[in-house]
Amino acid sequence: MMLLLGKLRTYMGKGGLASIKDDLSNAYNYVKDIASGHYRDYHSGNLALIVAALIYGVSPLDFVADFIPFGLVDDIAIISWALNRLSDELLRYRQWREGAGE
């Protein structure tokens, strides 16, 4: 999990991800807080879905290679789909995080 988070941190620096940067950052923190044991009010199926989408994003194997023009479109589509599907879960997490003093 820590390897994924390290790759995700680098991945989030890509310029083409501006449209999902805030949501991606929230997903990063969600996974990090679960992996570290700080956040426990989550559903394992939702964690699996977000981790799978994030693995797809950071993976060098893609439907469209990231180095060609518009190469991040498929990453953004898949990650956005997962984030939208888990919007209630991630909103609950964000509320917990804000209440935890972050």
For the chain, domain boundaries: 2-99
Q: Is the pTM of this model over 0.85?
A: no
Is 54:31 a contact under the CB 8 Å cutoff?
yes
pLDDT at residue 1 above 80? no
Number of residues in the chain: 102
- pLDDT one-digit tens code per residue, 2-37: 777 777 777 767 666 777 888 888 998 999 999 999
Is 33:98 a contact under the CB 8 Å cutoff?
no
- pLDDT one-digit tens code per residue, 75-101: 788 889 999 999 999 999 999 999 975
User: Is residue 8 classed exposed, middle or buried when 0-12, 13-18 and 19+ CB atoms within 10 A define those classes?
Assistant: buried
